[in-house]
Amino acid sequence: MQNISAVIMMSGTGKLPQKRKVPALPENEKKLYDLIWSKETLGIWTADMKKETGLSNNAVTKALKSLQSKGFIKDVVNIHNKAKKIYMAVEFEPSKEISGGTWYSEGSLDLEFITILREQCRLHVERLKVATLENVWQFIRDSKVFYIDFSLQQIKEIMSAMVLDKELEELISSGVGDFFHIRAGRECYRSLKGRDGPKEGFFSAVPCGVCPRINECSPDGIISPNTCVYYQKWLGLDY
Amino acid sequence: MVGQQGVRYTISLIATHFGDVVAKVCECLIRRGSLSFMEVVRFTELHKGQVKDCLLVLIQHNCVQAFSIPKTVGMGGATKPVTLYMAIFDNIIHRMRFSKFLQIVKEHLGNQCAELLEGFLQHGRLTFELLYDRASGLSGGKAKRDDVLATFNKLVHAHYLERCPKGDPFLESDANDEVSFVRKRTRSGEKTWTIEQEAIIAAAPSDADRFSGILNLMMDTEADIKHIKNDSSLEVSAGNKRKHEALEAEEEIQNTINTIDVLWRANYEKFVQCLKKKTCVANVRSRFGLDAAIVLEAMIESSDHQNARTMNSVSSSMSSIIESVRGKPGGLSMTLEHVRTILEQLECQVCTEETGALYTVGLKDIIENCQNDEVESLVFKKYGKESYRIFRLLIKMGQLVPMDQISDKTFLEKKEAQKILCKLWKDDYLDMEKVNLNVRGRSEVFLWKVNKKVLWELVLNDMFHTALNISQKIAQVNEEFLLSNADVQKLERLRRARLILESSLLKLDDAIMLFHDF
Ligand code: SF4
């Protein structure tokens, strides 16, 4: 929780510093610091530093250590490759490409936090029967369950994923009945509790629908309906 | 176009209903396209008499349609008509739906009508006279002609029965059209029709004739009786010992199919349309509730569509919707305001005509919704929850989507999303495109989408494969059933297994219809 709150407060595209301090530094460190600073919110990988500055392995390692101890640079986790250490000037916050964005913490999705937020969204929708995005957003803010503020966009991302999972459905308000508090024609959400998740399909209900061997199965083949174990089990003939 | 498994399944249906020899002739026509009598003989290596009998059976049961085209013969360039036979794939597939057709009529018009319809489903094409004979035989001579006629006319007026198409329509060829080789022609400059489609159009009776019913029994009866001998030869007897000369065999087919008797048959188009209505109404009921289902049903019923495939939307005026709604159980208490709200919920388009406002609801969208449900459920069961989420996102977006966007919107780690996407792509559920961007140090971006057209064909092919598998299993269970008559427990198990298989086949067919017939 602690971690994600820090991340949430950052901008998704990385924070830009107002002004650059130009410290007095030994030559190698200065060269390296300038390079790292120039990469802004993207940061730079050690191997690329060596390539771009022409410095030796040793020199780079030494300079990095010194810059870090002086508080000019920091290392950040890269979600694309956690083993690949990236350095960035302390004035910058990692860009979405590096940190993974809003819902990441220490380079991983904060699943526990996302689950709690989803649950809260669902509760608010169910309480109102039908709710707009703004309704849910407002409720989450007022509920004070979270000590951080979410943007409307962040709540929309969560709700959209819930629509994909068929926990919620997106509807157009008719302005009457359950929709009376929402202006007709506005987009809104309703809980699918009781009929949530995927519908059982006619095809997927039969073993062949999900059978990994269907392409090898033929009437007279080694794999065939007559010898199929999935069928025997399905039909209760595997005694 | 139907895939290989669809073809296999149709052939197995024919083999089960009419035997292997008829299936062989049918297979030859399905795989090679329309053929002349002699071509069928050559390709199947069957006797001419056998081919003749098989073609007659197939024609009798509406699985084959004959048509003639002019063909150049000899040096002088003289033309003479030659008859070709084409298999009608859809009509063969409909054979697995007969129980559904019967149920529709039973619910709508009652048992008597369903019994008459059964005669057509069993025998294919019948004159009224033959139909009456059958009804009379079944009732032990109690059925009255007038009653049978009234029931028959009821079926015709409701469009459940139709007059048969012409037996052998002649297609004029364009001057420079070598019909035997070029099987596609262009009509009115835009739409390309295959010669088979043209034959179907040429054979079809006019709408007025098609559903006119029988007004004067005496007139029709005279014609029927005159040709009753011909009709009885429609059914092929096993011990048929006719001469096997090609000409005579062909002539015999011609005599039979060109009878001047008025023949009637079940109108499959109407039944498929009813089933489409049922599917759409059920889908809307599950999404928007009972009242919305009543309104949709009313709208479909007040439209005059005849073909399920072209019934992509239906339009009605408010007054006819209300009238139709009020005639339904549960619809009487619905107010105008309530109906209007439902029409909005169903996202009806409104257009104003001279006669007033017309409301249009898109059935295509509803069917698409059902199709998506079917494939999404497959993805869920086969690949799990996360894959389901990704797949639904891509279906919703309907375009190429970059990997990063997919993982963000579905709340999945990039690596996991990539793994899922690759798996779905490998199994042909997705299309992938690689784009070279050279931005921010990353040169390659992967874009993904669902190629519905290709995937839907693939799924349909697998569904036909499954239908074939289930039918094969039913045959095996039936065989075992006959062999194990002593073991009561085993018999009970087999009986239960057969029940599961048969009901699954019917439900699977509902899914097949979503992708093939609607
Ligand atoms: S019959 Fe058995 S092996 Fe063949 S496709 Fe179906 S489930 Fe798979």
Q: Which long-range contacts (CB under 8 A, 24 or more apart) does B40-46 make?
A: B40/B85, B41/B246, B46/B21
Q: What residues of chain B, 285 to 324, have a C-beta less than 8 Å from chain A?
A: 286
Residue ranges in chain B whose pLDDT is less than 70 = 1, 74-75, 173-191, 216-246, 438-442
Q: Which residues line ligand 1 (CB under 6 A)?
A: A 207-208, 211, 213-214, 217, 223, 225, 228, 230-231; B 469
CATH number of B4-88+164-265: 1.10.10.10
Q: Which domains does chain A have, with CATH numbers?
A: 4-99 (1.10.10.10), 111-205 (1.10.10.10)
- 3-state secondary structure string across A100-160: CCCCEECCEECHHHHHHHHHHHHHHHHHHCEECHHHHHHHHHHHCCCCCCCCHHHHHHHHH
Domain B269-365 falls under CATH 3.40.50.1380: no
**B5 CA to centre of ligand 1 in angstroms:** 14
Q: Which atom of ligand 1 approaches the CA of A228 most closely? A: 2
**A225 CA to centre of ligand 1 in angstroms:** 6
Strand, coil or helix: what is A190?
Answer: strand
So where are chain B's domains?
A: 4-88+164-265, 269-365, 384-389+396-450, 454-516
B372 in contact with A, Cβ within 8 Å? no
Residue A13 has pLDDT above 50, yes or no: no
Contact A235 B501 (CB under 8 A): yes
Q: pLDDT band at residue A77, thresholds of 50, 70 and 90?
A: confident
B427 in contact with A, Cβ within 8 Å? no
Q: How far is CA B339 from CA A184, B294, B319, in A?
A: 15, 10, 11
Tell which residue, B300, B448, B463, has the closest CA to residue B371.
B463
How confident is the model over B405-464, as pLDDT tens digits? Answer: 999 999 998 889 999 999 999 999 999 999 887 665 567 889 999 999 999 999 999 999
**What number of other Cβ atoms are within 10 A of residue A132's Cβ?**
18
Q: Which residues from A are below 8 Å from B381, CB to CB?
A: 198, 201, 204, 209-210
Measured in whole angstroms, the distance separating CA B423 from the mean position of its chain's CA atoms is: 34
Tell which residue, B282, B276, B284, has the closest CA to residue B345.
B284
Strand, coil or helix: what is B228?
Answer: helix
Q: Which atom of ligand 1 approaches the CA of A214 most closely? A: 5
Q: Is A63 in contact with A29 (CB distance < 8 Å)?
A: yes
How confident is the model over B324-381, as pLDDT tens digits? Answer: 998 888 888 888 888 988 898 888 888 887 777 889 999 999 999 999 999 999 999 9
How confident is the model over A161-176, as pLDDT tens digits? Answer: 999 999 999 988 877 7
In sequence order, the β-bridge partners of residue A43 are: none
CB-count burial class (<10 Å; 0-12, 13-18, 19+) for B70: middle
For chain A, give the percent of residues with pLDDT over 90. Answer: 41
Q: Which residues from A are below 8 Å from B374, CB to CB?
A: 201-204
According to CATH, the topology of domain B384-389+396-450 is Arc Repressor Mutant, subunit A (1.10.10)
How many angstroms away from the CA of A56 is the closest CA of chain B?
Answer: 23
Q: Which residues from A are below 8 Å from B392, CB to CB?
A: 164, 166
Q: ipTM of the predicted structure?
A: 0.81
Structure tokens at B244: 């096997």
What number is the average pLDDT over the span A67-71? Answer: 91
Contact A237 B501 (CB under 8 A): no
pTM of the model: 0.82
Look at the block and give the residue holding tokens 């083993």: A83
Same fold, B269-365 and B384-389+396-450: yes
Contact A42 B440 (CB under 8 A): yes
Instruction: Determine the pLDDT at residue A8.
Output: 34
